[in-house]
């Protein structure tokens, strides 16, 4: 549905916001663009929308090259972080605005706007102005405005980031359900890895105007392609430890582990294992990282345990009820079937 080839954007002044990007997004897909601030997410979205012209490369939507087409010819609807509602218009007129631009007759566009408003539980608010709405309601009006004109593609730029934590979770579920019902191809920008994992069919992790990895939430969570993705994805940071192959064993933070395929004596690597895939033993084992419990954090149904040994820090998530005492000697056991080895460390 969306096809990007060699997409590059260099801003006046020399910032290379997009660097030779190739990406295919499928029909009906919920696709997340994830990355830290400044990595080029908004620029990519605005380039798909036609609000930025690429320095080089092409954008196609639905098989048609739209690289030089104005935004109005692309059949996309964009929802911005700040919603960009018109303060002097009531809810109906805000929702109907894109239909007005498309010259849909007044009665028809008001009917369509009211129907969309009903779908987003906004029927009671049609004659209010944005200033009289809560943040969550404004967010739904912005969504309704995007939905009303039934575009081929939704483009969302951090649409949930101005909501407080609880509303944000509600809005996320709502958005996912709406997208499923409508089946519209959606590109969703976020810097929140949890949001991307929860919502997306596939995720592109961006770094410095490039795509570090494109994959399903399970792929980027379980098999991050590099150390950047490994440290960016996950609600607790992945344990990343230096390791070295010596005498047929992989030595990492006091543990001796089997040597992964492809490594040989003398190789230096970074060993990665998520706290969720790290268990704790109260008796010594050679394949575990020894240390002492320095911090216990209650996660609700589990505890995040921080284990220290000199300069080495390892974290483990243990089920409620099985957490050790602070100060206890423990051995943090990596699940070897979930561990990763990076040569770039």
Q: Which residues bind ligand ADP (CB under 6 A)?
A: 11, 13, 15, 17, 35, 37-43
Q: Which is nearer to Mg ion, 79 or 125 (CB)?
A: 79
26 binds, among ligand ADP, Mg ion, none (CB under 5 to 8 A by kind): none
193 binds, among ligand ADP, Mg ion, none (CB under 5 to 8 A by kind): none
Q: Which is nearer to Mg ion, 80 or 342 (CB)?
A: 80
* Options 39-47, 60-68, 110-118, 133-141: segment touching Mg ion (CB under 5 A): 39-47
| Minimum CB distance to ligand ADP, residue 38 (Å) | 4
Decide: 153 and 3 in contact? Cβ < 8 Å.
no
- Residue 253, number of CB atoms within 10 A of its CB: 23
183 binds, among Mg ion, ligand ADP, none (CB under 5 to 8 A by kind): none
| Minimum CB distance to ligand ADP, residue 53 (Å) | 12
Give whole-number Cα distances, 40 to 9, 55, 154, 306, 311, in Å.
Answer: 9, 14, 18, 34, 35
319 burial level (CB within 10 Å; 0-12, 13-18, 19+)? exposed
Q: Which is nearer to ligand ADP, 150 or 210 (CB)?
A: 210
- Is 107 in a helix, a strand, or coil? helix
| Minimum CB distance to ligand ADP, residue 329 (Å) | 44
Q: Which is nearer to ligand ADP, 13 or 70 (CB)?
A: 13
239 binds, among ligand ADP, Mg ion, none (CB under 5 to 8 A by kind): none
DSSP-H helix ranges across the chain:
41-49, 91-101, 106-119, 135-148, 165-182, 193-199, 217-222, 227-232
38 binds, among ligand ADP, Mg ion, none (CB under 5 to 8 A by kind): ligand ADP
H/E element, 288 = none
Q: Which is nearer to Mg ion, 95 or 211 (CB)?
A: 211
Size of the site for Mg ion (CB under 5 A): 1
The closest of 189, 211, 187 to 29, measured between CA atoms, is 187
Decide: 70 and 53 in contact? Cβ < 8 Å.
no
Q: Which is nearer to ligand ADP, 11 or 86 (CB)?
A: 11
25 binds, among Mg ion, ligand ADP, none (CB under 5 to 8 A by kind): none
Count CA within 13 A, CB hemisphere, residue 169. Answer: 2
- Binding Mg ion (rule: CB under 5 A), the pick from 17, 42, 66, 156 is 42
| Minimum CB distance to ligand ADP, residue 275 (Å) | 27
C-alpha span between 201 and 199 (Å, rounded): 7
Q: Which is nearer to ligand ADP, 37 or 283 (CB)?
A: 37
Q: Which is nearer to Mg ion, 46 or 274 (CB)?
A: 46
C-alpha span between 68 and 50 (Å, rounded): 8
1 binds, among ligand ADP, Mg ion, none (CB under 5 to 8 A by kind): none
C-alpha span between 126 and 12 (Å, rounded): 43
| Minimum CB distance to ligand ADP, residue 96 (Å) | 29
Residue closest to Mg ion when measured from CB atoms: 42
43 binds, among Mg ion, ligand ADP, none (CB under 5 to 8 A by kind): ligand ADP
| Minimum CB distance to ligand ADP, residue 323 (Å) | 37
Task: Determine the distance from the C-alpha atom of residue 69 to the mean position of all C-alpha atoms in its chain, rounded to a whole number.
Answer: 28
Decide: 86 and 131 in contact? Cβ < 8 Å.
no
Decide: 155 and 79 in contact? Cβ < 8 Å.
yes
Decide: 250 and 271 in contact? Cβ < 8 Å.
yes
Footprint of Mg ion on this chain (CB under 5 A)? 42
């Amino acid at each position: 549905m969306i096809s990007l080839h060699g997409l590059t954007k260099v801003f006046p002044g020399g910032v290379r916001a997009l660097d030779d990007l190739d990406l295919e997004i499928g029909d009906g897909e919920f696709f997340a663009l994830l990355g830290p601030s400044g990595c080029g997410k908004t620029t990519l979205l605005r380039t798909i929308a036609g609000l930025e012209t690429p320095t080089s490369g092409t954008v196609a939507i639905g098989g048609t090259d739209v690289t030089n087409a104005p935004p109005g010819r692309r059949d996309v609807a964009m929802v911005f972080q700040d919603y960009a509602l018109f303060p002097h218009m009531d809810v109906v007129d805000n929702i109907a605005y894109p239909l007005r631009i498309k010259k849909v007759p007044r009665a028809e566009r008001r009917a369509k706007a009211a129907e969309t408003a009903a779908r987003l539980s906004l029927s009671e608010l049609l004659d209010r102005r944005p200033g009289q709405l809560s943040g969550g309601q404004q967010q739904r009006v912005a969504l309704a405005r995007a939905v009303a004109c039934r575009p081929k593609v939704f483009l969302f730029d951090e649409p949930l980031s101005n909501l407080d934590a609880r509303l944000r979770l509600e809005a996320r579920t709502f958005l996912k359900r709406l997208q499923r019902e409508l089946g519209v191809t959606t590109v969703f920008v976020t810097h929140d890895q949890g949001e991307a994992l929860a919502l997306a069919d596939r995720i592109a992790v961006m770094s410095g105007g490039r795509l570090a990895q494109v994959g399903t939430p399970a792929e980027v969570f379980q098999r991050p392609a590099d150390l950047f993705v490994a440290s960016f994805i996950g609600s607790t940071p992945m344990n990343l430890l230096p390791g070295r192959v010596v005498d047929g064993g992989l030595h990492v933070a006091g543990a001796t582990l089997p040597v992964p395929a492809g490594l040989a004596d003398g190789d230096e690597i970074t060993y990665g294992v998520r706290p969720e895939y790290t268990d704790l033993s109260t008796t010594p084992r050679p394949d575990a990282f020894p240390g002492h419990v320095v911090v216990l954090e209650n996660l609700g149904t589990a505890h995040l345990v921080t284990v220290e040994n000199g300069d080495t820090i390892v974290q483990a998530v243990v089920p409620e009820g099985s957490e050790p005492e602070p100060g206890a000697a423990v051995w943090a056991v990596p699940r070897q079937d979930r561990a990763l080895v990076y040569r770039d460390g």
